[in-house]
């Protein structure tokens, strides 16, 4: 039996082509890995009625519903409509005119995030809120881009393996009058971070060049001599990836930038991709486009028209590293 299926349309509709002929799997977007439990009832019903009764939790904090007959996609799109309405339209504020037609694009992957400041004491920002803001900024889009948000330099979401890792930073503010010179902050900074704090003559000095904005000093201080600057800052690491072709971790691009800069850079990145993507390929990962054009071209393009806040710092050059730039000696 021949299936009259438009494969390109199926993939764009967020369905996966699977190893079993005639069967597909629906990719369900959960921005920030955060959803109301009422939507689980809808996903369970789809999995039971149309799939094989299972849900697969993806590495990008979404769900895949496997075992779906390709011919039943229109019915499933109707069923998934309330999830799209509730998450993408009502919560993220995305303009999707026909949620009952399913997801309008799949190229830009689900925005992943750690649990963030709503729960974790180490987090320097509300990662869930930022993930939804980014979702609104970049989705729907067919360009292949992976973005993750993490609340602190611990990077629990592994932002260094994404095209863009957005890392929440704490600028610690020191109150000299409250410091008792106990050394709790400097000892901890030296043990678990970068040793940016030095105890001298009973008081603390902070080396701004070595401070990575983790906020450990704030958590350790017994007298609240250290507090978080209420202004939110971020570090952007870029073009990390796994895969067959030169895997590598992301490298620092911008540090101590505000949310506005993050959003503007992401917006400009999609324009950069549109200009430089190899249109002869079915898809091209943004990291390979940067490899092809060179970092200076990417840097200048995505920063065009972006007003950096006074605290921001920019990497003028990046050494990507990766397998291709390393030598290995294997012994048989």
What pLDDT is recorded for position 3?
57
Q: What are the residue ranges spanned by the domains of the chain?
A: 7-101, 112-169+232-318, 172-228
239: left (phi over 0), alpha (psi -120 to 50) or beta: left
Q: Which residues are CB-contacts of 275 (< 8 A; sequence separation ≥ 6)?
A: 301
Give mean pLDDT, residues 250-254.
98
Task: Assess contact for 55 and 23: CB atoms under 8 A.
Answer: no
Q: What 8-state DSSP symbol labels residue 122?
A: T
Gap between the Cα atoms of 267 and 254, Å rounded? 15
Distance from C-alpha of 150 to C-alpha of 95, rounded to nearest angstrom: 26
Going by CATH, does the domain composed of 7-101 fall within 3.90.480.20?
yes
State pLDDT tens for residues 170-187. Answer: 999 999 999 999 999 999
Which superfamily is assigned to 112-169+232-318 in CATH?
Sulfite Reductase Hemoprotein, domain 1 (3.30.413.10)
Higher pLDDT, 292 or 1: 292
Assess if CATH 3.40.50.2000 describes domain 172-228: no
Cα angle value 17/21/27 (rounded, 5°): 30
Kindly report whether the global pTM for this prediction surpasses the value 0.85: yes
Give the residue-averaged pLDDT of 152-159: 97
- Does position 286 have pLDDT exceeding 70, yes or no? yes
Confidence of residue 11 (pLDDT cuts 50, 70, 90): very high
For the chain, give the mean pLDDT. Answer: 95
Q: pLDDT digits over 85-138, tens only? A: 999 999 999 999 999 999 999 999 999 999 999 999 999 999 999 999 999 999
């Amino acid at each position: 039996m021949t299936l009259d299926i438009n494969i390109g349309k199926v993939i764009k509709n967020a369905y996966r082509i699977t190893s079993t002929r005639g069967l597909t799997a629906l990719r369900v977007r959960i921005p920030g890995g955060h959803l109301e439990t009422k939507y689980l009832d809808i996903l369970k019903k789809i999995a039971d009625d149309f799939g094989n009764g299972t849900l697969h939790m993806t590495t990008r904090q979404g769900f895949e519903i496997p075992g779906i007959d390709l011919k039943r996609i229109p019915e499933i799109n109707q069923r998934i409509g309330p999830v799209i309405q509730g998450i993408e339209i009502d919560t993220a504020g995305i303009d999707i005119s026909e949620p009952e037609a399913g997801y309008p694009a799949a190229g830009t992957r689900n925005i992943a995030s750690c649990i963030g400041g709503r729960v974790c004491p180490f987090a320097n920002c509300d990662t869930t809120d930022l993930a939804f803001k980014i979702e609104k900024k970049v989705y729907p889009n067919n360009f292949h881009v992976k973005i993750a948000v993490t609340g602190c330099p611990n990077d629990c979401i592994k932002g260094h393996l994404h095209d863009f890792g957005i890392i929440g930073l704490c600028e610690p503010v020191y109150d000299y009058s409250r410091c008792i010179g106990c050394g709790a902050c400097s000892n901890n900074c030296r043990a678990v971070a970068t040793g940016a704090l030095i105890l001298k003559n009973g008081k603390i000095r902070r080396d701004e060049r070595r401070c990575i904005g983790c906020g450990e000093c704030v958590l350790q201080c017994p007298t609240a001599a250290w507090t978080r600057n209420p202004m939110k800052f971020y570090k952007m690491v870029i073009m990390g990836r796994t895969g067959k072709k030169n895997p590598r971790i992301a490298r620092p691009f911008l540090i101590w930038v505000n949310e506005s800069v993050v959003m503007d850079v992401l917006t400009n990145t999609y324009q950069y991709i549109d200009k430089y993507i190899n249109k002869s390929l079915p898809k091209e990962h943004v990291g390979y486009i940067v490899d092809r054009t060179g970092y200076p071209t990417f840097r200048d393009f995505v920063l065009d028209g972006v007003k950096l806040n006074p605290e921001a710092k920019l990497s003028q050059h990046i050494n990507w590293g990766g397998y291709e730039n390393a030598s290995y000696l294997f012994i048989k």
